[in-house]
Amino acid sequence: MKRLYGFTLAIVLLILSLVFGSTPGTAHAASFISADEVRQLQSSNASFLLIDVRMSQSFNLKHIEGAINIPAFSIGKKRLPAGQIIIYDGGIGTIEARDAMEKLTAAGNTSVFILEGGLAGWEALGLPMTVQTGILSTRLSETVSVTELSRAMSDGLNLIIADIRMPEVFREGTVPGARNISPDDVLDVSRGWRKDSIIILIDSGDDEALKQAEKLRRAGFKLVRFLYGGFPEWKRQNAK
């Protein structure tokens, strides 16, 4: 009888796995939604919750039009209405959306999606955003940390990594996949790049990358980042 019960239970679990795609206790895989699909939902006035899971300081500077802000570290503590939830983070080597997804699914939310490309991808497409005005500096470019760049590389993102240091210094060591480009040549070389390219600039920590990033942003490139701390910071964090 016990053997029959065990056999029956195994059959039931097999059927559940076929129907729901997982067995009880298996973690849910992240589900993604494209920017175009989000725009269609917005245009059709569909009911869904769009949540920016970055820190409030970043959200206040700029965010997707219609989004609310609940940072990833606290999102599991919030009681959210039933229905479709779409979350996003910065989008280049960031993991806040993945962390938020885990917290939301653990809390019982069953219809959660991550925006592909995050805010960076949305901005690159020129889609509606809310941007703080009046008290902002003129800086257009943002940093990327060593951790974020490493993660973006591991994720297989198609990156243009430009090391703008002197050639002799570049030859002594650089970030994997980087090409050496003189600061004076950045704009000329960039004419062969797509406007939605993810561009990472690396300097010696002297803010030259920020200057060149600003030029690229004003030339129409949206996804430009400069490595925080430059190559010295990369070397320090990757030292054996």
Predicted pLDDT of residue 151: 93
Q: Mean pLDDT lowest for which of 4-8, 83-87, 186-190, 206-210?
A: 4-8
What's the chain's average pLDDT? Answer: 85
- Output 24 or 219, whichever has higher pLDDT: 219
Closest Cα to residue 210, out of 191, 187, 227, 193?
A: 227
Rounded (5°) CA angle 121-76-106: 95
- Tens-digit pLDDT profile for residues 68-117: 999 999 998 878 888 899 999 999 999 999 999 999 999 888 899 999 99
- Domains 28-131 and 142-237 in one fold: yes
Domain boundaries along the sequence of the chain: 28-131, 142-237
Q: What is the CATH number of domain 142-237?
A: 3.40.250.10
- Tens-digit pLDDT profile for residues 178-204: 999 999 999 999 999 999 899 999 999
Q: What is the CATH number of domain 28-131?
A: 3.40.250.10
Predicted pLDDT of residue 77: 82
**pLDDT higher than 80, residue 148:** yes
Pairing verdict, β 142-144 and 84-88: unpaired
